[in-house]
Structure 1
Amino acid sequence: MKTSKSGTFLRACVIVFGIYIALAWIWNSMTGTKFWTPIEMGISAVLTVAFFGGIAWLLTNIGMAVLCGRNPEYQQYRKDGGDPFFDSLPSAVTGGQKELRFECPVCSSPVQNRIDVCGRCGYGADGDSTAYFERYGDLKPVDLVDAKWAGIRDRRNL
């Protein structure tokens, strides 16, 4: 199950708050002062996540729209509710495993990328990705650079 964006925001605020508490404790222990109160650190954590997270979200979404906006696979990803920023966050922030959109063509186990090595049966470990092409077609995956895609296609055509 995918964590909501507000749940992800709150989780990020708690993580940043924990970091601020640890840094304040170290600073106050070393200097013998009481630099910030927990309430001030909580407000600062929320503002930090909102400001820097907002900038990162904006840049990620604009960048992906510029780089992949005309790719039919990317357009379908966006229509299905995908968000390049939130989907790229680590599980410590999102609170769970990443949603796996693809299946191994041999054993139907979920895999993260359209062309990947299956963790269950090992398909693709030898470089053979023929079954992936048969299942998902010949469109270049959004997450692969052109040079890597060309190498995969060349291995397929050998």
Structure 2
Amino acid sequence: MSESDDHAVDSDGLTVEGPDDDRTDGSALIQKRLGLIDDERLDDVTIRIDYDAFDYRTVLVWLTVKLDVVDDCIERLRTRPGFVTVYEISDSPNVFAVAKFPSERAVGACLKELLLAPEVRSVAIDSVEEVVVEGVPIDEASPDPQIEG
């Protein structure tokens, strides 16, 4: 951001805080951008949450679900808070999801709820120890990464 006429301006050229706003934690920028969304002056916004900054746990969820309700199950999981992505996959298990939870207790509560669902035949989870790169698209034109061994 650069200073101009006692106003901070972000890289998009949007004035984010005035001379009376001394917040340095980024909240002024967030408040300004949310205001632009509310005013419908900012379109096609994707909100990305850095779950690691909040010390969330990343969990891979593998479900075996009755085939006649797999689409409904996937749709329900996609609308649940914390489920980042949900896919139907071939074979068994037939549903794969990536989820983020604030605590081990929240992971356990979700696991219990999934196990009690009548359409779910089995549930398995894998805890992710470290997320190295998240949300970076793969460039199809780039060569395959070399695996060193």
Same fold (TM over 0.5): no
TM-score when normalising by structure 1: 0.22
Higher helix share: 1
TM-score when normalising by structure 2: 0.22
